[in-house]
Chains A and B, each alone.
Chain A
Amino acid sequence: MRSVRALTAVALSLFAASNVAALAAEPKKGGILKVYHRDSPASASIHEEATYSVNIPFMPIFNNLVMYKQDVAQNSMDSIVPDLAESWAWSDDKKKLSFKLRQGVKWHDGKPFTSADVKCTFDMLMGKSQQKFRKNPRKSWYDEVVDVTPSGDFEVAFNLKRSQPALLALLASGYTPVYPCHASPGDMRTKPIGTGPFKFVEFKANESIKITRNPDYWKKGLPHLDGIEYTIITNRSTAILGFISGQFDMTFPTEVSIPLLKEVKTQAPKAVCVVEPVNVSTNIIVNSSSPPFDNLDIRRAMAMALDRKAFVSILFEGQADIGGTMLPAPGGLWAMPKEMLEKIPGYGPDINANRDEARKLMAKAGYGPEKRLVVKVATRNIPIYRDPAIILIDQLKSIHIDGELEVVETANWFSKVARKDYALGLNLTGNAVDDPDQSFYENYSCGSERNYTNYCNKDIEKLFGEQSAETDVAKRKKLVWEIDKRLQEDVARPIIYHSRMGSCWQPHVKGVTIMVNSSYNGYRYEDLWMDK
């Protein structure tokens, strides 16, 4: 009998404890989330910018047609959920993607959301409308879209030239919000209007960005927070001190470097910190249209001289990833297997053997200890560019290349690259969506605006199309691996590493998910709440 009582008592106490836990997990309403922002964005218009300095503060103002589930860290087709669209369907030939839109949704100024807004947004993105964006950096995402046709107020279809399963992934990105027809691009740069969980309050350049709860949000009960305030602090030390002293609830996401993370953990031991891949690769851009890098042997030698582990160890204390164009696993979904990667020249584990091979190639091109190749290594005058460039110069010495660092002010970087006024450069490439369509077409397709090196290989271009149209994921993966391998063998844009960065928040902030294969898509913040 005694044992029965004891068991009952234990069961009751467990039940009570589980109830307490459930209650503790119940989101609390209210509070202003305070976050520091790393810089003052150029504008508030997500469609016109190409940095998550804009996505992070302004994504909560908007909705997409579909979006990546905000509490799932890895973006994939399986994690795409309806947003302004209630549902979607592909036609049998996979050349038409139709959406049924949510009814009763209102813009922040009270006007109703309809299919016309979707058409306006994508017509503008495709450059088909009267109104134009000042800048349209992701126009190429919609190259396969013929048109967007509304059918009544609450249905819309994307008609494609060919099947492109990845279109859905592009539409789910934080870079693809739906804009209202009735607001001009200029208005969207300065006082954006959305349908999202938060309304725009003010954006004071170099000072702050404030957004407040949308009481009429169509998702009932959300958001939990009353608002979010971003204080713009460009000085990293000041910003981190502000977080350590508890004046900010969260650091700017994926902005804390590994050495600074140690500092945070020491001085604010209760802070929750994670280090995740950001899907930004550090790579070498080579001007293959003029000597000496028009010689494939020299380009290959250079790629083979890289000791990627040394970069990762020096700059990230081991916490970065080595791979090809696509983000490496486990964060990335499309990276080639390790055994395949290691067979690519320069990726093998024996650095000395790789460099022996590289020196032979250099000798074939006429360079050796007596006749060294002197080149300038251009890069932007920003530490995350400069630091790896210095290591690169050091490593190239081993194959008789004497590099001289040429730092270029940000204002002149892309103009210089576009003019082909460089021999060798060190660049960073961010990918908004972990999908080959975004990466391949944007960075390697013939004629693409962001294909800085003008790399153009018609055979590979054909493979881009094949993988893009392939609906069988397993088959598509194999094609992607093959393309990635060939891009590395062609020394199209040798990838050095994929960086990882830290994010921290105070323990009272709940519901934060840092995405592991994109740093552009996880900032809707409607589920975030504060336990205080």
Chain B
Amino acid sequence: MFAYIVRRLVLMLVTLFGISVIIFVLLRIVPGNIVDILFDAAGFVDQADKANLEKELGLDQPIFVQYVKWIGGLLQGDLGYSYVSEKPALQEILPRIPITAKLAALALLFSASIGIPLGVISAVKQGTRLDYALRVVSLSGLSLPSFWLGLLILMASVSMFGTMPIFNPNPATWTEAFAIYAVPAMAVGFRSAALTMRITRSSMLEILRQDYIRTARAKGASEASVNYHHALKNAVLPVITVIGIEAAFLIGGLIVTETVFNIPGVARFLVEAIRWRDYPIVQNLVMLIALVVVVTNFTVDMLYAAIDPRIRYTD
């Protein structure tokens, strides 16, 4: 087991190195850099001024030198300066992380707390009207784009309550905090909840047909005990896998949700940084996201072993 963990950790480092190379090279292959965009914003191109600015930002250096400088800085905790705001990249990124983290955590919580119970109910009540209704809900969740759902929520909020949640870093009341974080989290988590519901349902249906479930029932176990103690415990493994993958994919959903709800999180910031070709911000943010994804996958793998004693990773 120990050797397995070490191997996984080494693999994580190799993966992160690969991602760093890919993102660095891809960013520079894309036509146009920050200098092009800055001059575009000013409506003209002055080649001499442009060359000066490229030199000032170090963009005239060979790509390999730029890469080594970035990685060298990163290893020492120096993320460089944002080309746009001219502030340290760390100073720009750090305050945004908790905002997105809260949103993502709430979305995942919403996804699991709604998706799993409804999936179980749908499986247990298979073929009933309730099952059909829940399946319609889950299909809707998978079909509705989160930006559309977000806009609908905002429009409904304005027409019903005459107000809408506008981000405030220091919400004064509990209801304001709820509106700021929970409503967007629900908008983005709805799709994940639907997916979780479907996976839970199909996994539960498979488990409920197993012999040991029949045995448990024959031994007089209550329905609740059969469903939640015997069946769900075994059905939850694929669900955890899905939630793990969804955690990684959530960043994509959050980009749109943060834009629609105007939340100054990491996801929207990343899109803006890409638009400006603000390399230090994009590179470091993508590395951060990659780190989160890799660590989440690692944690999910470890969870398998903890939940199902039959799974043991061999050396």
Whether A413 pairs with B158 at a CB distance below 8 angstroms is: no
> Does B264 reach chain A (CB closer than 8 Å)?
yes
Whether B262 pairs with A235 at a CB distance below 8 angstroms is: yes
Stretch at the interface among A103-111, A404-412, A473-481, A512-520: A404-412
B→A interface (CB under 8 Å): 31-33, 36-46, 49, 52-53, 56, 82, 84-87, 92, 151, 154-155, 157-158, 162-164, 166, 259-262, 264, 268-269, 272, 275-277
Whether A449 pairs with B45 at a CB distance below 8 angstroms is: yes
Contacts of A42 in B (CB 8 A): 37-38, 41, 84, 276
Whether B43 pairs with A410 at a CB distance below 8 angstroms is: no
In this complex, the interface size class of chain A, counting residues with CB under 8 Å from chain B, is: 35 or more
Whether A409 pairs with B259 at a CB distance below 8 angstroms is: no
> Does A247 reach chain B (CB closer than 8 Å)?
yes
Contacts of A203 in B (CB 8 A): 85
Whether A135 pairs with B42 at a CB distance below 8 angstroms is: yes
Whether B269 pairs with A137 at a CB distance below 8 angstroms is: no
> Cα distance A50–B41 when bound, in Å?
6
> Does A190 reach chain B (CB closer than 8 Å)?
yes
A→B interface (CB under 8 Å): 40, 42-43, 48-51, 132, 134-137, 186, 189-190, 203-207, 231-235, 237-238, 241-242, 244-247, 267, 409-415, 418, 430, 449-450
> Cα distance A415–B259 when bound, in Å?
29
Whether B42 pairs with A247 at a CB distance below 8 angstroms is: no
Whether B259 pairs with A235 at a CB distance below 8 angstroms is: yes
Contact (A247, B43) CB under 8 Å given A40-B272, A235-B259, A411-B36:
no
> Cα distance A241–B275 when bound, in Å?
25
Whether B41 pairs with A238 at a CB distance below 8 angstroms is: no
Whether B260 pairs with A238 at a CB distance below 8 angstroms is: yes
Whether B264 pairs with A449 at a CB distance below 8 angstroms is: no
> Cα distance A411–B277 when bound, in Å?
9
Partner of B41, one of A49, A206, A418: A49
Contacts of B261 in A (CB 8 A): 238
Known: A205-B85, A238-B151, A410-B275. 17 other contacts (CB 8 A): A42-B38, A42-B41, A42-B276, A189-B86, A190-B85, A204-B264, A207-B264, A231-B166, A235-B259, A237-B151, A238-B154, A238-B259, A241-B155, A410-B37, A411-B40, A412-B36, A413-B40
Partner of A247, one of B36, B164, B275: B164
> Cα distance A89–B314 when bound, in Å?
90
Whether B154 pairs with A415 at a CB distance below 8 angstroms is: no
Contacts of A189 in B (CB 8 A): 86
Partner of A245, one of B53, B163, B262: B163
Contact (A206, B272) CB under 8 Å given A137-B44, A234-B259, A235-B262:
yes
> Cα distance A205–B264 when bound, in Å?
9
Contact (A244, B158) CB under 8 Å given A50-B43, A190-B85, A410-B40:
yes
Contacts of A51 in B (CB 8 A): 41
Q: Which of B56, B154, B157 has the most CB of A within 10 A?
A: B154
Whether A135 pairs with B86 at a CB distance below 8 angstroms is: no
Whether B164 pairs with A206 at a CB distance below 8 angstroms is: no
Whether A247 pairs with B45 at a CB distance below 8 angstroms is: no
Whether B49 pairs with A134 at a CB distance below 8 angstroms is: yes
Task: With both chains docked as a complex, state the minimum distance between the C-beta of B78 and any C-beta of chain A, in angstroms.
Answer: 19
Closest A-B pairs by Cβ, 9 of them: A411-B32, A449-B44, A137-B42, A207-B264, A50-B43, A50-B42, A135-B42, A245-B158, A418-B45
Whether B163 pairs with A246 at a CB distance below 8 angstroms is: yes
Partner of A49, one of B37, B42, B272: B42
Contacts of B52 in A (CB 8 A): 132, 134
Whether A414 pairs with B84 at a CB distance below 8 angstroms is: no
Contacts of B162 in A (CB 8 A): 245-246
